Amino acid sequence: MKLLLLGTGTSHGIPVIGCDCAVCNSTDKRDKRYRSAAFFTSDQGSQILIDVGPDFRMQALEHKIKKLDAVFLTHSHADHLHGLDDLRVFSCEMYKKPENPRSLAQYNAPAIPVYTNASTIKDLINRFGYFFIPPKEGGGHAKVELKEASEPFIIDDVCITPIPMMHGHLETVGWLFTKTYANGCKKSIAYLTDCSYISDQSIELLRKAAGIEEGGVIEECVIDGLRVQKHSTHFSVIEAMEAANKIGVNNMWVTHLTHNSSHVEYQAYMKEHKAQFPGIKGTAAPAYDGLLLEV
């Protein structure tokens, strides 16, 4: 299994428009952050996009994303949803005519399944209502099939467990990807953003689905950790480390980061506090755009 982090920034991205701070002017490429999104690939080749924000077009071009088998949405905030129209290209069957080498599109490909919770489905229909009516002449829209995700489901040999979380007062969905190997061992990747609270029930769900009590491991945990300072709707970096410690993970990476600190500063801060969290067995570090996690 692979999880590629397409974006690791907060809703403004980094650099922030009009900002002249040291981070926004940094030459460290890890301080350049698209809005948060990720791209999961199974060992059988199924490809799943997690969130489709306004930077999706550039993310897809940069990482040469050419197909999608599903989209998972964490919630309906603009920085996670408002690139949805760019799924149009994945709703096209491409063909070429000998007299015209340019690719032409027909909007007759199968609908892309979009998995999320009930509140996000409602918001999506309200904002993207034109997806669900016949397209006008000369235009088209993404073809999506909305699926409420409330129970675990299987894609290829991966069990996907939706994890209820809270983002302030908004219900969001984290995603746990678990593969069971021939020897019975389970290995997982968790993607948990946006959140300011993960209940004991959801932590138990994570641990049970990952088989931690039976020797399973959450090898990689990507979790919301907005900044060093506290925030009302996001974990701080320390709160993210506390949550990962409680879950019990190997490596953890904070995402959805602001320009309040540079990558190097986040890195030093987490290294300084890592010893407080024995439930994080391996790395505790800030994520960055283009980080590839493999299990």
Split into its structural domains, the chain has a count of 1
pTM of the model: 0.94
* pLDDT above 70: residue 102: no
pLDDT band at 271; cut points 50, 70, 90: very high
The predicted model gives 250-258 an average pLDDT of 99
Nearest Cα neighbor of 115 from 48, 65, 47 is 48
The neighbouring-strand residues paired with 172 are 165
124: left (phi over 0), alpha (psi -120 to 50) or beta: alpha
- CATH label of the domain that carries residue 277: 3.60.15.10
- The Cα 63–Cα 163 span in angstroms is 27
CB count within 10 Å of CB 213 equals: 9
**What is the token pair recorded at 44?**
């059988």
3-state secondary structure 205-230: HHHHHCCHHHCCEEEEEEEECCCCCC
Q: What is the pLDDT of residue 89?
A: 87
Strand order in the sheet with 70-72: 144-148, 112-116, 70-72, 47-50, 37-41, 2-7, 292-294
Residue-wise pLDDT tens digits, 85-101? 999 988 876 544 455 55
Q: What is the pLDDT of residue 96?
A: 45
Structural domain boundaries, residue 55: 2-294
Residue-wise pLDDT tens digits, 54-84? 999 999 999 999 999 999 999 999 999 999 9
Q: What is the pLDDT of residue 95?
A: 46
The neighbouring-strand residues paired with 47 are 41
Q: What is the pLDDT of residue 160?
A: 99
The predicted model gives 155-173 an average pLDDT of 99
DSSP-derived 3-state class of residue 103: strand
